[in-house]
Amino acid sequence: MKGKILIVDDNRSVLTALEMLLQTEFVDVFTLRNPNSLITTIQQHQVDVVLLDMNFKAGINTGNEGIYWLHQIQKFDPAISVVMITAYGDVALAVKAVKEGAFDFILKPWDNNKLISTLHASLKQRKLKIENAKLVTSSALLKRELNPAFQSIVGQSQPMKDVMEMVKKVAATDANIFITGENGTGKELIAREIHRHSTRKHEIMLSVDMGAQSESLFESELFGHTKGSFTDAREDRTGKFEMASKGTLFLDEIGNLPLPLQAKILTALQNRTIVKLGSNTPVPIDIRLISATNRDLSEMIKQGLFREDLFYRINTITLELPPLRERGNDVLLLAEFYLYKYRTKYNKPEIKISQKAGNKLLKYSWPGNVRELQHCMEKAVILADTNVLTENSFSLSSAESIQKMDFQNMTIEEMELEMILASIEKEKGNMSAVAKKLGITRPTLYKKLKKLDD
């Protein structure tokens, strides 16, 4: 708890007495008879507390000098604690100094115990201010980490203009938003755009990929748990609902929620509280919910796989994202966007797309949508031997041509991608059917698709 103190007083006897008294209470004690080098001394020695006299010039007892130097210290470092020291007759001036930011004041002649107690309290305040500043900085860094830098939404087609017009209308509200669209159409990007224009934009947006979560861990992930609530619960955990409070929670692929958890989410949204696993205490939450899926929830409701009451709760406003094949020349705009990104990343600034290559991109159906186009452009730039990307630079596939691929010249990752994209096209975006067809679990499928985005 020991810090560094600077004593500023024009009386040599006062300085000597205070230095002797405080040398065992602080790591370092510095003294000044003239305040002109006060800021320099603070800077050089990283002072924590300043014991500051109110008056320095003989015959002038207005206290203005002390208040002036108080303000100078505050400008240099607001976290430094300043304790004023003054004669009995200047109490009113000392009170004024406290109102203007001084921690406290001490009267001359002082009581040693009270002086030491006051200075210890002022040092404690200094430590708290520093810790609070660190917390604010850490919070800001966390928000920046969880809210990635703004990525522009590329598109001039009428379907995308309609989507963006709707985004502008709903962003300023706190209405729950439901985003639909095929896999890879940019649902999370639209969710971040809504958050960026909302009243919660200075708070965090947390994303939860429901397709990548183990069913047994869903509840802990969303609501948190207490220590000992289940076998591996070695410590308390805060869930995503609580972490996102004051901000936005994005539940991607909400169609993958098991029915028991659907009921708990509905209760949380209705009551604006959650209950952690292993606890009976409700925790208030204040979130803006955005959900997304590529599945047909209306059909799932008919099949008894999704709760109708939850469906109506999450889709106050529905946004449907068009597949890339319906966005016309947006394909070329996006291709140029990713071309710029990857030729910069891989230091190939002269690369361009030929007209024939552009026509090939336009004619392709893009079963994997924007995600597939992004991967396609990155691969083409990496493998480019010249400054022009031709038709042959793009090995585009479809469900019909999957058997014609030259697997001998492809990496395992490339083969996996082609098979996944072809299956998505054939199954029309039904990810459960895709996973079943490929012989993998749905969480594994989502992890593979997520890896392609990185």
Give the helix/strand (H/E) hosting 30: strand 28-32
Q: Supply the DSSP symbol for 256.
A: G
Give the helix/strand (H/E) hosting 191: helix 187-196
Per residue in 222-245, pLDDT tens?
898 888 888 777 788 888 899 888
Residues 201 and 227 in one domain: yes
pLDDT band at 292 (very low <50, low <70, confident <90, very high): very high
Confidence (pLDDT) at 228:
83
Confidence (pLDDT) at 57:
63
Residues 362 and 329 in one domain: yes
- Please compute the mean of the pLDDT values over residues 332-350 and round it to a whole number: 92
- Please compute the mean of the pLDDT values over residues 161-176 and round it to a whole number: 93
Angle, nearest 10°, between helix axes 412-426 and 442-453? 120
Per residue in 54-104, pLDDT tens?
877 654 555 578 888 999 999 998 889 999 988 766 677 778 888 888 999
Give the separation between CA 88 and CA 110, rounded to whole angstroms: 10
The answer to whether the beta carbons of residues 62 and 27 sit under 8 Å apart is no
b/e 274-302 (16+ beta carbons within 10 angstroms → b): bbbbeeeeebebebbbbbbbbbbbeebbe
Residue 402 predicted with pLDDT over 70:
no
Which has more confidence, 86 or 195?
195
Q: Supply the DSSP symbol for 48.
A: S
Instruction: Show the domain range for 374.
Output: 324-453
Give the separation between CA 125 and CA 172, rounded to whole angstroms: 39
Q: Tokens for 419?
A: 């098979």
Which has more confidence, 382 or 229?
382
Point out which residues pair with 189 in neighbouring strands. Answer: none
Lowest mean pLDDT among 213-222, 386-395, 407-416: 407-416
CATH number at residue 204: 3.40.50.300
Q: Is residue 150 part of a domain?
A: no
Give the separation between CA 351 and CA 339, rounded to whole angstroms: 8
Residues 74 and 194 in one domain: no
Give the separation between CA 371 and CA 389, rounded to whole angstroms: 19
Give the separation between CA 174 and CA 197, rounded to whole angstroms: 11
CATH number at residue 87: 3.40.50.2300
Per residue in 415-454, pLDDT tens?
777 777 777 766 666 777 777 777 777 777 777 776 655 5
Q: Tokens for 387?
A: 């400054």
